[in-house]
Amino acid sequence: MNILLVNDDGYNAKGIIALEKQLNKYGQVYVVAPKTFMSGKAIALTIHAPIEVIKYDDYHYAIDGTPADCSAFGLSCLNVKFDVVISGINEGLNITYDILHSGTVGACIESLMYDVPCIAFSAEKNLDFAKDYVSFVMDFILKNKLLSNKYCINVNFPIDNIVKGIKLAKVVQRKDNRYFSYDGQIAFPKRDIDNHLSYPKDSDVYLVNEGYIAISFLKKDFYSETLFNQFKDSGIF
Any idea what DSSP says for residue 170? Answer: B
pLDDT tens, residue by residue, 52-107 = 999 999 999 999 999 999 999 999 999 999 999 999 999 999 999 899 999 999 99
Sign of the Cα pseudo-torsion (73, 77, 80, 81, in order): positive
Residue 73's nearest CA partner among 61, 84, 81, 83 is 61
The DSSP bridge partners found for residue 67 are none
Percent over 90 (pLDDT), the chain = 83
Write the pLDDT tens digit of every residue in 12-36.
999 999 999 999 999 999 999 999 9
Name residues whose C-beta falls within 8 Å of residue 113's C-beta, 6 or more positions apart in sequence. 220
Residue range 191-209: mean pLDDT, rounded: 87
Question: Do the Cβ atoms of 119 and 87 come closer than 8 Å?
Answer: yes
For residue 173, name the pLDDT band (cuts at 50, 70, 90).
Answer: confident
Average pLDDT over residues 231-235: 90
